[in-house]
Structure 1
Amino acid sequence: LVAAFTARYPNIVVDLSLGDEVVDILAGQADVAIRFGHLPDSPLTARRLGHTGQVVVASSDYLKRHGTPLEPEDLLKHNCLRFNFRRAEANWPFIRDGKEFSLKVSGNIECSSGEALAQFARLGAGIARIGEFTVREDLQRGTLIPLLQTFNPGDEEPIHAVFVGGAAMPVRVRLFVDFLLERHRM
């Protein structure tokens, strides 16, 4: 999307920083941030881009070597790849017979990047619970296999573009947010 944005607006310089840290937009650390999850009250303006569900995935190579979990509790015997940033939930949620529960899974890789966790899962390093949008193409190609779908609680995270709005908003910010809304409804 950034390449398409700069093709449309070649005179706007995009300085892209990737990470899962929450930047202080009011302090000028960024013009626009993409935030996942529910937003706290703030003076910032937020535009909803869409939402994503979560899916538990592994590569066929990992499953051949370690077996396929059939029940959530089977994950306790597997190497689970987890997020390590402060907002991450330590337990993985599931549902059985209409009742929600969670499991404290463990593994030998923790990471702050969903893209990196997806890559570790592709490489057969373990099982990940990750945003469906991150692995959508892998699921379609069969690179990653969805697991425990009947136990998926269907939790979703909203995705927002967050920025300083109002009369002082730079035109480049308005153009970028409008472009995201036009092109990237998730």
Structure 2
Amino acid sequence: MDELGNLSAFLKVVERGSLTSAAAALHCSASTISKRLKQLEHSVGATLLNRSTHGRAYPTEAGRAYFDQVRTIVRELENARESVRSVNETLEGQLRVHLTPGTGQMVLMPLIFRFMREHPALRIMVSIRPDGHDVLHRGFDLSIHSKDAKEGEIGYTSIEARELVKVDYVICAAPAYLAARGTPARPEDLSDHNCLVSVRQASPHQWWFRRDGFEYPVNVSGTLEADNWTTAFEAALEGLGIVRMMRIGDLSHPKASALVPIFTDDVVSGRSIWALMHRMEPTPRKIEAFCNFLRTELQGQRTRQD
């Protein structure tokens, strides 16, 4: 009996919520998943899953307790098996990556496409949604997002956070907007302008600046509040207002040259792009390679823009 295979099938069903979805993720049939679950339940002597008439599967109380116990064990076994492979072996299997909107679409996806071309045997599942690091407990290998220093630290000891790159903000507007409304002479003038707000940034209605070694906020508001940077960026391109963007990635966008930077040297950022993952020893090779690739590419972008 393939006990590791049975455990992996059980974990995948709990994470995906159905036998069919788990089978698709593991590249086997639903009947194979069902057989593995029966073997596992017989082995432990308890019913681990309840099946609904609509094809859904939910862990029983015993199943939830078992899931919490074996999840880390299975990951460690899989990592141990992977660690004995040659470092020159082709990356393969599946990498499950969560990205947040804005940063994911404008900064990370072009890099992920490049990584896929370099490692064609590796399957990458990408989900772009505004969830936080809790997605790691729903089957993702990595959660990558930008985080401001003002948002505090990540309070989970089971999660490893790797800083990929520090980024700067830049205040931008289209020439058409500046021609119609005038260019702000100093940060305080932003209070009299139409500022396009991304509500998922830290302090979205207070943009921070530095003068003579001191940091201070400027209250901003406008006719658009968006839950991702992409929308605010597109609105700025249309000449609708002033936007605060990350210098890295955003300014590499083909359309970004149409925007004029303002107060470049005065903007306070403190923002970084982080990779969050389960704390494991050793780190799976595909995760290590992916993080190293992103760090190299992102830091290269920052160097070219400085």
TM-score between both structures, scaled by the size of structure 1:
0.83
What is the aligned partner in structure 1 of residue 269 from structure 2?
155
- One-letter amino acid matched to 1:77: D
- In structure 2, relative to structure 1, the CA distance for the partners of 1:88 and 1:141 (3 Å cut) is closer
**Inter-partner Cα distance in structure 1 for 2:214 and 2:169:** 18
What's the Cα RMSD here?
2.7
| Equivalent residue in structure 2 for 1:166, among 256, 277, 280 | 280
**Inter-partner Cα distance in structure 1 for 2:237 and 2:229:** 12
| Equivalent residue in structure 1 for 2:125, among 12, 15, 19 | 15
**Inter-partner Cα distance in structure 1 for 2:242 and 2:254:** 14
CA deviation string 1:88-128 (max 9, x = no partner):
44311123344322121101111122233222212211101
Question: Relative CO higher for 1 or 2, CA cutoff 8 Å, sep ≥ 6?
Answer: 1
Q: What SS does structure 2 have at the residue aligned with 1:56?
A: strand
**Inter-partner Cα distance in structure 1 for 2:254 and 2:117:** 30
- One-letter amino acid matched to 1:118: F
1:114–1:134 CA contact under 8 A, matched in 2 = no
- One-letter amino acid matched to 1:41: G
Matched, 1:31 2:31: no
1:80–1:108 CA contact under 8 A, matched in 2 = yes
Q: What SS does structure 2 have at the residue aligned with 1:70?
A: coil
- One-letter amino acid matched to 1:27: H
**Inter-partner Cα distance in structure 1 for 2:201 and 2:167:** 20
- In structure 2, relative to structure 1, the CA distance for the partners of 1:86 and 1:34 (3 Å cut) is same
- In structure 2, relative to structure 1, the CA distance for the partners of 1:29 and 1:80 (3 Å cut) is farther
**Inter-partner Cα distance in structure 2 for 1:159 and 1:70:** 31
CA deviation string 1:132-180 (max 9, x = no partner):
1143236997411111235x14433122211113148554333322332
Overall identity of the aligned pairs, in %: 26
Matched, 1:135 2:250: yes
What is the aligned partner in structure 2 of residue 121 from structure 1?
236
- One-letter amino acid matched to 1:7: R
**Inter-partner Cα distance in structure 1 for 2:139 and 2:202:** 20
* 1:39-50 pair list within 5 angstroms: 39-42=153-156, 43-50=158-165
The count of residues paired between Structure 1 and Structure 2 equals: 185
| Equivalent residue in structure 1 for 2:227, among 112, 117, 128 | 112
CA deviation string 1:16-39 (max 9, x = no partner):
222443141441252211132244
Where do 5+ consecutive residues of structure 1 fail to align? none
Shift of 1:49: 1.2
- In structure 2, relative to structure 1, the CA distance for the partners of 1:29 and 1:120 (3 Å cut) is farther
- In structure 2, relative to structure 1, the CA distance for the partners of 1:175 and 1:70 (3 Å cut) is same
* 1:65-144 pair list within 5 angstroms: 65-85=180-200, 87-137=202-252, 142-144=257-259
**Inter-partner Cα distance in structure 2 for 1:78 and 1:146:** 15
Structure having the higher Rg: 2
Which stretch of the first structure deviates more once superposed, 166-175 or 41-50?
166-175
- In structure 2, relative to structure 1, the CA distance for the partners of 1:100 and 1:181 (3 Å cut) is closer
Shift of 1:13: 1.8
- One-letter amino acid matched to 1:76: S
- In structure 2, relative to structure 1, the CA distance for the partners of 1:175 and 1:135 (3 Å cut) is closer
- One-letter amino acid matched to 2:274: H
1:51–1:158 CA contact under 8 A, matched in 2 = yes
CA deviation string 1:68-96 (max 9, x = no partner):
11122221221101121384443111233
